[in-house]
Amino acid sequence: MPEALAWWAYSDPELTARERERIFARAWQYVGHLGELGDGAGYLAARVGDIPIVVTRDREGQLRAFLNVCRHRGSVLATGAAARETLQCPYHAWTYGLDGALKAAPRSGREPGFDCEGISLRPAAVGAWGPFLFANPDPEAALLDDVLAGLPQLVADAGVDVNELRHHGRAESAVEANWKLVAENFLECYHCAVAHPAFSALVDVSPDAYQLVPGEAFSSQFGPVRENGGGLASEGEVARSQFHFLWPNTMINIFPGRTNLSIGPVLPAGAARTERFLDYFFGPEADGEWIGELLEFDGQVGAEDKVLVENVQRGVETGLIERGRLLPESERLIIDFQQRVEGALS
């Protein structure tokens, strides 16, 4: 049986900086949706890992992204999202355009030789897939479309037209566990029959029916509806569930029933804490009652997972056992994830 990642990797605070530099500073991650930018010029502040990012859109519709860090003293510039045409630092009011260029610095006229020209925010990469916004701190990153590769087609094959989706709301949560444990829990359904009775009543989680498919930049899980599943899947356009994981931290969920998709990142907030959010989208035909049922269902699964993952964190933090073991078939996506982590950090 393959050995798991060493358990100190889930509690060592010294890994935070290495993971920031070697994983999160080099990868595409979901940061929000286009609706947050409003109808015209605006910005959206977000995080990729624990790196602050700001996405802007100008009057002409040009998307840009930058490190959300003032070039003066390093303060985080923007928070939230707003319809406006400048970004102003809350510390000393240095003001930047949506193209990242410094437009004004109070008292700079009193400083001989000071010139705003040439001072601008550090650029990052930005891309969109339907209403979904992604950012990558590396301005020279491969195009988002090339990284997503066949993922949009898999979603389309499920009966979900992302361009028809409507944003319904966002659920925010925190887990007292390392971000890698949260990701690994998502990457297997070995625990589903034990820990998720409602999910297992809807989706066939048996090893012969539930598919785990590794890929180049993302992995996928496919779960058919049980013959007597009923409930959410009793009617609708989506015939089976799909769950995708875009390296290193973006999760995508599609449940059977009406047109639906939820997407969000897991964000490290220290060695033993993860912050996350999920944006829920639905098709125009999904009625309020069905949406309410799905949100309650998914909330229950999330609450069950929170208990499981926090329990694992308490166990691995003991430091008395070096590592665990993995099942090559049932946990193949975890093996793939851990190999990526080790490869990035080595």
What's the pLDDT tens digit per position in 41-58? 999 999 999 999 999 999
Mean pLDDT, residues 240-247: 96
pLDDT (average), residues 3-14: 93
- Name the residue among 43, 106, 49 with its Cα closest to residue 79: 43
Percent of the chain whose pLDDT exceeds 70: 99
What average pLDDT is seen over the chain? 95
Spatial distance between the Cα atoms of 79 and 76, rounded to a whole number of angstroms: 8
CB 261 within 8 A of CB 155: yes
Q: Which domains are present in the chain?
A: 29-140 (2.102.10.10), 149-345 (3.90.380.10)
| pTM summary value | 0.96
pLDDT single digits (tens) 173-190:
999 999 999 999 999 999
In the chain, pLDDT over 90 holds for what percent of residues?
89
Sorting pLDDT into bands at 50, 70 and 90, what band is 230? Answer: low
Per-residue pLDDT reduced to its tens digit, 292-345: 999 999 999 999 999 999 999 999 999 899 999 999 999 999 999 999 999 999
